[in-house]
Amino acid sequence: MKRALNFNAGPAALPEAVLQKAQQEWLNIEDTGMSVMELSHRSQTFENIHNKAISLLKEIMDIPDNYEILFLQGGASLQFSMVPMNLLSTGKKAYYVLTGSWSEKALNEAGKIGDTAVAASAKDTNYTYIPSADEISFGEDAAYVHITTNNTIFGTQWNNYPVLEEVPLVADMSSDILSKKIDISKFGLIYAGAQKNLGPSGVTVVIIRKDLVNSSLTNLPTMLNYETHIKNNSLYNTPPTLAIYLLSLVLEWVKDQGGVEVLQENNTAKAKLIYDAIDNSEGFYKGHAQPESRSHMNVTFTLPDEAATKKFLEEAKLAGFVGLNGHRSVGGCRASIYNAVPLSHCEKLVGFMKNFKESYS
Contact 35, 49 (CB under 8 A): no
Rounded CA separation 5/50 (Å):
31
155 near ligand PMP, rule: CB under 6 A: no
Rounded CA separation 270/345 (Å):
9
Count residues binding ligand PMP (CB under 6 A): 11
Q: Kindly state the DSSP code that residue 296 receives in the 8-state scheme.
A: S
Select from 8, 174, 197, 267 the one that contacts ligand PMP (CB under 6 A). Answer: 174
Select from 43, 73, 77, 233 the one that contacts ligand PMP (CB under 6 A). Answer: 77
Rounded CA separation 335/352 (Å):
13
CB of 172 to ligand PMP, least distance (A): 5
Q: Is 238 annotated as a binding residue?
A: yes
Among 61-69, 72-80, 264-272, 313-321, the segment contacting ligand PMP (CB under 6 A): 72-80
SS3 of residue 120 by DSSP? strand
Residues marked as catalytic: 102, 172, 196
Q: Is residue 334 packed enough to be buried (19+ CB in 10 Å), middle (13-18) or exposed (0-12)?
A: buried
Q: Kindly state the DSSP code that residue 218 receives in the 8-state scheme.
A: T
By C-beta, is 155 or 287 nearer to ligand PMP?
155
Rounded CA separation 300/26 (Å):
37
Q: What sign does the CA torsion over 248, 252, 254, 259 have?
A: positive
Q: Is 40 annotated as a binding residue?
A: no
Select from 6, 86, 99, 148 the one that contacts ligand PMP (CB under 6 A). Answer: 148
Select from 116, 152, 179, 248 the one that contacts ligand PMP (CB under 6 A). Answer: 152
CB of 207 to ligand PMP, least distance (A): 15
Q: Give me the residue whose beta carbon is nearest to ligand PMP.
A: 75
202 near ligand PMP, rule: CB under 6 A: no
199 near ligand PMP, rule: CB under 6 A: no
CB of 305 to ligand PMP, least distance (A): 28
Select from 46, 96, 102, 226 the one that contacts ligand PMP (CB under 6 A). Answer: 102
252 near ligand PMP, rule: CB under 6 A: no
CB of 10 to ligand PMP, least distance (A): 5
The dihedral region occupied by 188, where left means phi > 0, alpha psi between -120 and 50, and beta the remainder, is alpha
Select from 172, 203, 295, 345 the one that contacts ligand PMP (CB under 6 A). Answer: 172
Q: Is 195 annotated as a binding residue?
A: yes
Select from 7, 10, 131, 171 the one that contacts ligand PMP (CB under 6 A). Answer: 10
63 near ligand PMP, rule: CB under 6 A: no
CB of 101 to ligand PMP, least distance (A): 8
Name all contacts of 339-344 with Cβ < 8 Å and 24+ positions apart. 339/15, 339/178, 339/179, 339/197, 339/254, 339/263, 339/266, 339/267, 340/12, 340/13, 340/14, 340/15, 340/18, 340/197, 340/250, 341/6, 341/7, 341/12, 341/13, 341/270, 343/266, 343/269, 343/270, 343/273
Which of 120, 143, 115, 99 lies closest to 289 in space, CA to CA?
A: 99
By C-beta, is 29 or 147 nearer to ligand PMP?
147
83 near ligand PMP, rule: CB under 6 A: no
339 near ligand PMP, rule: CB under 6 A: no
Rounded CA separation 48/151 (Å):
34
Select from 12, 39, 53, 76 the one that contacts ligand PMP (CB under 6 A). Answer: 76
Among 84-92, 109-117, 167-175, 272-280, the segment contacting ligand PMP (CB under 6 A): 167-175
Residue 14, φ and ψ in degrees, nearest 5: -110, 155
Contact 259, 23 (CB under 8 A): no
In sequence order, which residues have a C-beta less than 8 Å from that of residue 282 and are 6 or more positions away?
none
By C-beta, is 152 or 309 nearer to ligand PMP?
152
Q: How far is CA 15 from the centre of its chain?
A: 16
SS3 of residue 98 by DSSP? strand
Q: What residues make contact with ligand PMP under the rule CB under 6 A?
A: 10, 75-77, 102, 148, 152, 172, 174-175, 193
The annotation places the binding site for L-glutamate at 42
The annotation places the binding site at 42, 76-77, 102, 152, 172, 195, 237-238
